[in-house]
Chains A and B, each alone.
Chain A
Amino acid sequence: DAGVIQSPRHEVTEMGQEVTLRCKPISGHNSLFWYRQTMMRGLELLIYFNNNVPIDDSGMPEDRFSAKMPNASFSTLKIQPSEPRDSAVYFCASSLESATGELFFGEGSRLTVL
């Protein structure tokens, strides 16, 4: 298996622009997580999907952030409009059995908002 695949790996954009990050989880995994990592705050859970359904989005910073999982093999995280404070590395991770199982991370999408 190719593992969790994220795109783009790097994104540089200007404040106010829309950003879309993409994730393909490992085939057969029923849980998908979006995390954000910064030096100041470490790893933060943004949203958790189970069987394509959003279970907990309490970590989504504000209404500018939205996430979808239209099918078992694809998820997006969208920021509109983007702000400089959104600059971070965004990770997607998947698991066969939510947090009771091993968590597999993608390589991350490094976002820089100017």
Chain B
Amino acid sequence: SAVISQKPSRDICQRGTSLTIQCQVDSQVTMMFWYRQQPGQSLTLIATANQGSEATYESGFVIDKFPISRPNLTFSTLTVSNMSPEDSSIYLCSVEEGGGAADIQYFGAGTRLSVL
């Protein structure tokens, strides 16, 4: 499977600030996703990062709060904007491998964000 590097691995931020999380893959992949995992919860999909076009956001998530870039097939960023303590979560990027109906997703190590 692809090697996925995510950084920063953790951060502590002040409310009202923004944090950009980077996700780098060692091979070209078509599908990249961003998830949020709140404390003690399962994974919730934030958006699909589309190469060369605007990301596709899930219900409850908006571009102004979570702008995403995908400049090429190996890299994506997620920004958490104007943060509040409710944004304290683990943020994970994933890539889809296998193509077709396989839908197998592999995850980066995650970014543990605490907002004070």
Q: Are A and B part of the same complex?
A: no
